[in-house]
Amino acid sequence: MSEKKIQSALISVYYKDNLEPIIELLKKQGVTIYSTGGTQKFIEQQGASVIPVEELTGYPSIFGGRVKTLHPKVFGGILHRRSNEQDVVQANSYEIPAIDLVIVDLYPFEETVAAGASEADTIEKIDIGGIALIRAAAKNYEDVTIIASREQYGVLEDKLKSQNGSLKIEDRRYFAAQAFNVTSHYDTQIFNYFNKEENIPSLKISEGKAKSLRYGENPHQSAHFYGDLTALFEQLNGKELSYNNLVDVDAAVALIAEFQDEVAFAILKHTNACGAAIGKTVKEAYEKAFAADTISAFGGVLVTNTKVDLEAAQTMHGLFFEVLIAPEFDEDALQVLKGKKNRILLKQKINLTGTEQVKTLLNGFVAQDKDLTTEDKSDFKVVTKKAPTAEEKDALLFALKICKHTKSNTIVLSNKDQLFSSGVGQTSRVDALRQAIEKAKTFGFDLKGAVMASDAFFPFPDCVEIADQEGISAVVQPGGSIKDKDSIAYCDAHGMSMVMTGVRHFKH
């Protein structure tokens, strides 16, 4: 039968909030209810009659509650096929009552892990009976309805009301799909908990929250974001974030996290910084960042690591930009920035914490550790006769932080507190340098005394030669080329300083 009247229900849940309306409906419709422990007491407090599962099975809850529902009279009542004559005969022979509705949730394993519980407490939160009941009921959706999450209570309540206590086959199949979503996520979390130590080469990813995006990278592509953005940001204004917004926001928060002790500001376009600076105030840092490329900043994503005040807000308000990210906003600053209704304002609650990157590739996935290495001045190995000055070291470090977050091949030109320009995503390092030089000159920067950072080694001395001709005085690069000595020799002959870090920062 495509539509089935609910006549019996098994209810055993950890979370009991919002369950009352369901109990009231089942009670009114004369449904036989089976339950255990705390759930049984809760249902009885709602004035409904309950048959204890122990009465059905003839066994008490044993082993500290580890075994309660694992019994043929329970699983037989769920799994026997009502349209199969032999199943019905066997059920009658063993006095197994049919169970039409199963409402079960799972022990909060994920929450227990997140709370930092001991291994013993965590293991006790691995649900056995509950997940078995869910799978059994979902498998037999032809006859049984399964509710595996409190998020489904409202849907069930509406259907029981509108369909007079009956559920259609399409309803039962929908709930079954939701149930398998719950169980697969649960098992993924358990596996990943164990695999932190075991390192089994298997990739399991499960995100229970999804957000439909307006479109993907282009309007003809559909897209979803899987994850909980509200844990990271509070959106204070503007339209919904798009796919491209999210990609740029990800790059922006990763870059700004490099600056811990300074007031920093960056402007990004297509994941690359077109402006970045340090200042005494947010206003000053913004103005210096904007000066690096007053054209590309249009429609960009802005980010700072410091509270945005009124002065800063008034200064940047005249620029059309898509997104501004900050840890805090003064109320008067917020009112100014909200003057553009579509402008997205994000208050960042926490820093990114993930340590792994995953993406699709060919017919599979690739996973790698995130590039979380940030060099310090103590990592600089001076390889030239002339050492960089203290100010040049500060500048090299600043340039290197931006270089790390720029698409390869890249060259970054700067002083100690302002990005002058960068060559981005070029097929050769020389092209990246020429692009950076041309751009710096376009926006009025004098490169005499500037520094240069490279994401990878110089295969030939041509880059340091070109840099020297423009007045660049100091260079940082990872080193590792068989021709490092040629670049070093040129620097020595022309009074340039060079440091090597031993760390490459390719970004594709």
Q: Which residues are catalytic?
A: 139, 270
Give the Cα separation of 182 and 179 in Å (integer). Answer: 5
Q: What is the DSSP letter of 307?
A: -
* 359 three-class SS: strand
In 3D space, the residue among 154, 177, 156, 43 whose CA is nearest the CA of residue 100 turns out to be 156
Give the Cα separation of 486 and 430 in Å (integer). Answer: 16
**CA–CA distances in Å: residue 306 to residues 281, 312, 497:** 9, 11, 34
Contact call for residues 378 and 481 (beta carbons, < 8 A): no
3-class SS shares of the chain: helix, strand, coil, % to 5:
40, 20, 40
**CA–CA distances in Å: residue 399 to residues 156, 369, 416, 490:** 57, 23, 8, 22
In 3D space, the residue among 505, 315, 296, 322 whose CA is nearest the CA of residue 406 turns out to be 505
Give the Cα separation of 462 and 443 in Å (integer). Answer: 24
Residue 9, H or E segment: strand 8-12
Half-sphere exposure of 409 (CA within 13 A, CB side): 17
71-107 as b/e: b if 16+ CB within 10 A: bebbbbbbbbebeeeebeeebeeeebbbbbbbbbbbb
* Cβ contacts of 213 within 8 Å, gap of 6 or more: 223, 224, 225, 240, 241, 242, 243, 246
Decide the pairing of beta strands 344-348 and 356-361: unpaired
Give the Cα separation of 411 and 458 in Å (integer). Answer: 11
Give the Cα separation of 431 and 460 in Å (integer). Answer: 13
Tokens standing for 158? 């509406």
Q: What is the DSSP letter of 389?
A: P
Contact call for residues 264 and 278 (beta carbons, < 8 A): yes
Q: What is the DSSP letter of 4?
A: E
In 3D space, the residue among 456, 466, 453 whose CA is nearest the CA of residue 494 turns out to be 466
